[in-house]
Each structure stands twice: as structure tokens, then as C-alpha cells.
Amino acid sequence: MAKFDGANVEDYGRIAEVLDPFGQSLCGLLKQIALNSGIRVHSIVYRVKAYESAAAKVAKSPDKYTGIEALTDMLGVRVITYFADEVDAIAELVESEFAVDFENSVDKRALLDPDRFGYLSRHYILSLNSVREGLPEYSRFKGEIFELQIRSILQHAWAEVEHDLGYKSQASLPGGMKRQFSRLAGLLELADEQFADLRDRSVQYSRQVQADMALHPESLGIDQVTVGNFVIGNELLRSLDSQLAVMMKRTVLEEGKNEPYNAHQASNLVAVGIRNLEQLAEELESNYSLILDFGREWISPEGSKAKSVPRGVSLYYLVMVKVVQMSEAEARRVIESSKLPESEWLGEKNLLSRAFAKYECVLEKRAEETS
């Protein structure tokens, strides 16, 4: 491990040159470790302690630190999870993937009395394990030590606000503010628990939706989860998606569920009167050929540089078709009273007038074909 000569600036510069790329490498490694275990973290960041801060820490505790080389937090890495229970999940991965200095590592949650609230976090002093040190991409970091903090996003919010207010402990708080601090910290802990509960309920709901889709589609209302499952499992929709994508000269994006897109389409479907999955399937089937005909009129392959379209793009065209099947006055009322974006339909993009014009072209061509 690289050494400092006391608080020598030049030595600090040399070690910082190693720690900075080490921090970058660790962020990528930790992200991949989490993803491989199915955990999506909010952020992973690192910092190399500033020279002034390092020197001040050594000067403050000369009996504890013989020099800057004795500091275990010269490189600090922070993992912020979305949920509190993921802190322990990440901690288990860390203990299996790195060499841990357990003597100097601490679970700050265990330091709080049961009736006290405050900053909660897992802190580890780590280095690469022997296997990873032997890999060419990590060999230059052999023996380097770093500090890792793991906390939830709400725990992070608490720590950041507490730090900004300048109070380092409950003892430093003015008497009248201690209770207010504890109440706020308790609310954040409760929120952490409730968010985790909402996540678990969402997973259970998604599983129930998958089980009910084939047997009871009429019982499943239109929302982000039901639309997401419908988009993946309905063969008619997949066929429509593929044909529309060909018209656009693009491919269909298959990378899992697109929650924002599904949520947007769910809102649009409800706005045009589609209330459950059974009705959605019926509307797709009854409007199948009209969606394709409308798509041929509407789509301009040169209109966008995008290389792909989201799975479920046919729902966008189903909504368009449902709108133009109304009278123009009725369509305007629906747009003005629903969640359909007025800025697109009635404003600058003026989708409504364009959609009715394209629909007229569809009707004219159909009439010519049957005459």
C-alpha cells in the first residue's frame, strides 16, 4: 500500500492518483455486483479525502494516526439504496465480495438505543479480496483500503439535512429541538418501512395480475401494472406492434417492462373509455385492421431518427383510433376533461385535427376499395 511521508503534499498527490481511478473502478464493480443480484440501487459515488481534511484529521488525533497513511477513509464510497431492507442485502454481498476489516467496520444502526431515532448506516472498511487482486484490471489496487457506506435514500436525506444544519449529535441540539429532531427521524424511518411495504405489495399485485389475466380479465382494471403485463402477454398486440414497427422501419424494444410508457398508455386508455383488460383485448381485435390502416396514413418513416419503438406502441394507435371514431366535438370534450395531454391534442402539435384528417383518408381509401 502506498505510504505518505507525514502530511507531505507530494505524497498525497501520488496516492490520490491511485485512489481516484480505484474509486471509479469500485463504483462500476459495486453496481455490477448489485445488478447481478437483482438489486437496483439509487446511486454509487466516491470521493478522495481532500488533503486539508486528511491532514486535519491526523493532527486532531496524533495518538491514533501516525500519519495520513493510517487513515482508513482516504477513499470513501457510498451506496444509496431505494429501500431500507436493501442496505442489509448490499451488506451481505459486500462481505462475500471483499476483504472486510470487521474490527473497524460498524453498523451504526446498532449504536442507537431502541427508543432513539437518528442517522442509520452500515460502514465498512474494505479492500479487494485475494481473488480480485489477482485480476489484471485490479492488480494495481492491491492492498488499498477504502471506506464503504451503505444507506437508504431516506437515511441519506436525514444525514444530509442533519449535516447541513450543523448538529453532529443529539447532545449538541438545543433542548427544545431534540423532540422535533426525533419526530422527524421517526417519520423517515416509518416512511422507509412503508415504501418497502408498497414495493412488496406491488410485486404481489403483479403476480396476481399474471395469474388472473387468462381467467378473469374483466376483473383487472386498467393501470400501469395490468397494461405492462398485457403488453408482454397479448399475442394480438405483439402482432400489431411488429407490423407498425415495420411501417416505421424500426425494431420493437424488448428490454423488459417500460413502466413510464405503460403508465402513460394506461391513462390514455382510461380517457377513451377502456376500463379493463377484457375490454382492451376486445377493442384491439375489433379495431385491428383500422389500426393498421390508420398507421399507414399516420406514420412517416423519415419523421424520426429513433431506431426502435416501445413494446405496446399499438396502444397509442388504438387511442388515436378511438378518438377519431368520436365526433370532433365529443373528442374535444374527452381531451379537455381527461388526462389526455391538451398541449399535444389541442395545442401546438394539434394531434386532433391531424388525426381526423388522416382518418378521412382511411375512410376514402376503404370506400374506393369496396366500390
Q: What is the pLDDT of residues 89-128, one digit of tens each?
A: 999 999 999 999 998 887 765 555 544 445 567 899 999 9
Domain span at 255? 217-370
Domain of 104, CATH number, reads 3.30.460.10
So what's the pLDDT on residue 138? 95
Last residue of a domain, one of 157, 191, 225: 191
So what's the pLDDT on residue 253? 87
- For residue 2, being part of any structural domain is answered with no
Cell of 225: 401494472
- For residue 209, being part of any structural domain is answered with no
So what's the pLDDT on residue 105? 86
So what's the pLDDT on residue 116? 47
Same domain, residue pair 32 and 177: yes
- For residue 57, being part of any structural domain is answered with yes
- Report phi then psi at 310, rounded to 5: -70, 145
Same domain, residue pair 170 and 256: no
**Which residue is associated with the grid cell 477504502?**
146
pLDDT digits (tens, 9 = 90+) for 324-370: 999 999 999 998 888 788 888 888 788 999 999 999 999 999 998 88
Same domain, residue pair 157 and 30: yes
Q: How far is CA 48 from CA 140, 152, 208, 368, in A?
A: 17, 22, 47, 73
The answer to whether the beta carbons of residues 41 and 101 sit under 8 Å apart is: no
Same domain, residue pair 73 and 126: yes
Domains contained in the chain, number = 2
Alpha-carbon gap, residue 80 to 86, rounded angstroms: 9
So what's the pLDDT on residue 255? 65
So what's the pLDDT on residue 8? 66
Using DSSP's 3-state secondary structure scheme, residue 19 falls into helix
So what's the pLDDT on residue 177? 75
What does the angle CA 33 – CA 142 – CA 138 come to, to the nearest 5 degrees? 45
So what's the pLDDT on residue 162? 73
So what's the pLDDT on residue 307? 86
Per DSSP, 107 falls in state E
User: Mean pLDDT of successive 10-residue segments in the chain (371 residues)?
Assistant: 53 84 96 95 95 85 78 92 94 96 76 51 92 94 95 87 66 70 81 93 91 88 94 93 94 79 92 95 96 94 78 95 94 87 83 93 90 73
Global pTM reads 0.72
What does the angle CA 241 – CA 242 – CA 245 come to, to the nearest 5 degrees? 85
The answer to whether the beta carbons of residues 321 and 291 sit under 8 Å apart is: yes
